[in-house]
Structure 1
């Protein structure tokens, strides 16, 4: 309020008086409040302390040294040209591939004839709306088209399980930690100039205690965590053994009436949806516990959305930040001491067991599992039942696809099901009618090139086509729906993979030419038996596309 009525000397003396009243740190506080330099406030303090006459001097309006930007009108445009994004900036500038600090910018401007200091460059950048920025991790890369749908599916399953009083857990393996005198990220309060002395390099000491592999189980409803600290390998057997320990120590007591268990896990790692050993170990656990175990995997590239990451692992990392993990006991005790203001409780224990790697699981082993793949993305969502299947029949189906007749749809009629094609049967017939003439023409042209001349025998004579025109269109539609692998579709149509590939190469361009877009399905099948089970559970009158 007073500044507009005071001259330069009076303002300087007033700021000096205020700074003296505030004591230590007053010069900086007054300079920030008055939006002047600390040097100006310090001059006012010195003038008051000196007490000499006259107290300071008053410059004429407009007096004093002019700002560099006024003395050099080309300074501001030259600076903005240097800090433009790389794709728009000066391609010949040496700063194109150098960090653009205020010191480097000032040096480059001086080289171009604009003498300026690093502090002045910083002031100009702030005036133009610039500030120091770090990279923001927000770009998740290529997203799966069913990413959001899978999140909704997981939430629905979790809500349904918790509503029925059934356990829901989130599982994952935390980052492996070096055990020993190694630097751990973060800071902790210690006496000044007495940091913890750690090793210079983070090379694993083969003669030392090795690594620690924390595998966590987070109970979503109870807000409790269980962590097994392994010392061998992060395998599927280790992951399931950790879940088994949690169930025996906590789960069966917290949920005595449980009949099923829901597990949410990442898409990769020891508990990934492509890990066969994970499924076989879970099947054994389901039989041992007598529960239906349902697994819902997070979509690829979204592991940080798993609840265990931000409800358990992040708090563990903050709890031991800056502290060297010198032994397995330190790791276990630090994890067990982790708490939050929301009431998180964590139990941790050491798992000294050994877990072998490189264990092979065959197709027949997977076929024998009592596993039901869900209608929506059966590759991500499936349930393992405690009742075993007839392994003899499953093995027979896996040996020879031709001998698995009962598991295949009758002919190709079953494959025309709208649940598989994503379109009603009349629409599929209309599509075949539009493409049949063009496909026959293309086939005749191909055979003409192979013969090198005109046809000798009449049409229809000689070997028959392995796939009819309608079957080629149907096979292409199912292939574009991504229901299964090429080999699976070849088994369903009774042909080899090359025949199916040729059919797809003929039909796919015609579909694009006629403006047909085949959306991918959310159902995934691995064996003909999976297709049979899917069709058996679908309603004959229900026509919907899970896409």
Structure 2
């Protein structure tokens, strides 16, 4: 059942609860095809025991449903299975919500001595803080571990790719010695968007520097919550710092780095002090230098090879 759910799971990145687009009847039917006799009620009970829930009407509506979405997901799942089976790295990446740093209230409650409640600002005006943290996460789906690069500047494509580069230098190259390929799963918008020229240009630069071929799989429009980093890493970070004011960048790094789970999740966090410029344009000439070929469809699967 876990195998079926892993391929059909979304989640609220501020909660540990998960949901599936499959009904208990469809899951039971699929299990029967795999040789397991089980009824829908038993499926529902097991799902609840493993922290799944029925999807509620919360502000996580995913709009859009391309006709080839299921085929695209199937392609991504099969590609990831092949990589992991062959000992190749597969990472899920995304930017976490920016956080105002300073003496501000963080939703949630923690245990304290009576009368020892932490005092914070009455108002969440940004000018009362010392800046904003821009966490960008990399989750290794095959090893259940990750890294978060905590930026102090803008969430640009250069920052995004630098975060992946730091993961490779600090963790990836030691976990996967001699690796020649890397698979990246990402949503289709923002700084790692499928149409972002800066993302493509900087990925090619990373491929050139590391000598690794990089396969990028973008999720279909309106399906970002299916990205594994959302419910396997970000949700636990949010729970770990719940009710704790993020008074400094050092505090953010420490709270992210101390996040663990009963399933063995570990996270490395680092502070990125670099200033990333916005508004950088990449010309057609820049794009012509990219050794990239597209498979499957125009924006869902891209392969960056080291330039020769």
> TM-score of the superposition, structure 1-length normalised?
0.45
Distance 1:306 1:270 in 2: 15
| 1:166-205 to 2 correspondences below 5 Å | 166-205=88-127
Q: Cα gap change, 1:139/1:242 in structure 2, threshold over 3 Å: closer, same or farther? A: closer
Per the TM alignment, residue 140 of structure 1 is displaced from its structure 2 partner at its CA by 3.0
Q: CA deviation at 1:147?
A: 1.7
**Residue of structure 1 equivalent to 2:203:** 282
SS of the equivalent of 2:127 reads coil
Alignment CA distance shift 1:373-1:195 (3 Å): same
Whole-angstrom distance in 2 between the partners of 1:363 and 1:335: 39
- Note if 1:384 corresponds to 2:304: yes
Note if 1:252 corresponds to 2:140: no
Per-residue CA shift, 1:188-207, capped at 9, x if unaligned? Answer: 1123354322112211127x
Structural RMSD (CA): 1.5
Q: How far 1:163 sits from its partner (Å)?
A: 1.1
Tell whether 2:202 aligns with 1:305: no
2:172 is the alignment partner of 1:273:
no
Q: Aligned partners of 2:307 and 2:189: how far apart in 1?
A: 27
Note if 1:330 corresponds to 2:235: no
1:347 aligned onto 2:272:
no
* Aligned pairs (5 A) from 1:75-154: 135-136=57-58, 139-154=61-76
Mapped to 2, the partners of 1:235 and 1:139 lie a distance apart of 25
* CA spacing shift, 1:253–1:319, aligned 2, 3 Å: same
Equivalent-residue separation in structure 2 for 1:246 and 1:325 (angstroms): 24
Tell me whether 1:362 sits opposite 2:283 in the alignment: yes
Q: Which residue of 2 aligns with 1:318?
A: 239
Q: Which of structures 1 and 2 has the larger relative contact order (alpha carbons within 8 angstroms, sep 6+)?
A: 2
Deviation at 1:137, TM superposition (A): 5.4
Could you say if the C-alpha distance between residues 190 and 241 of structure 1 is closer, same or farther in structure 2, counting changes exceeding 3 Å? same
Q: Aligned with 1:205: secondary structure?
A: helix
How many residues in Structure 1 have an aligned counterpart in Structure 2? 253
What does 1:40-59 correspond to in 2, within 5 Å?
none
Secondary structure, counterpart of 1:340 in structure 2: coil
Give me the TM-score of the superposition, normalised by structure 2.
Answer: 0.79
Max radius of gyration: which structure? 1
Gapped runs of 5+ residues in structure 1? Answer: 1-133, 389-547
Q: How far apart, in 2, do the equivalents of 1:264 and 1:359 lie?
A: 24
Runs (4 or more) in structure 1 with deviation over 4 Å come to: 136-139
Q: Deviations over 1:77-108 (max 9, x none)?
A: xxxxxxxxxxxxxxxxxxxxxxxxxxxxxxxx
Which protein is richer in helix relative to its size?
A: 1
User: Normalized per residue, which structure has more strand?
Assistant: 2
Distance 1:317 1:161 in 2: 30
Deviation at 1:387, TM superposition (A): 2.1
Task: State yes or no: 1:163 paired with 2:85.
Answer: yes
CA drift at 1:136? 4.4
1-side partners of 2:276 and 2:102: how far apart?
22
Tell me how far apart the structure 1 counterparts of residues 186 and 60 of structure 2 sit (CA, whole Å). 22
The one-character-per-residue Cα deviations of 1:364-413 (angstroms, maximum 9, x if unpaired) are 32122100111x1121211000024xxxxxxxxxxxxxxxxxxxxxxxxx
- Structure 2 unaligned regions, length at least 5: 1-55
Matches of 1:382 and 1:139, distance apart in 2: 27
Of 223, 246, 264, the residue aligned with 2:185 is: 264
Q: CA offsets per residue over residues 422-467 of structure 1, 9 Å max, x none?
A: xxxxxxxxxxxxxxxxxxxxxxxxxxxxxxxxxxxxxxxxxxxxxx
Cα deviation, residue 142, structure 1: 2.7
- Structure 2 partner of 1:221: 142
Separation in 1 of the partners of 2:155 and 2:61? 29
Q: Distance in 2 between matches of 1:195 and 1:135?
A: 34
CA positional deviation for 1:257: 2.3
Matches for 1:421-440 after TM superposition, within 5 Å = none
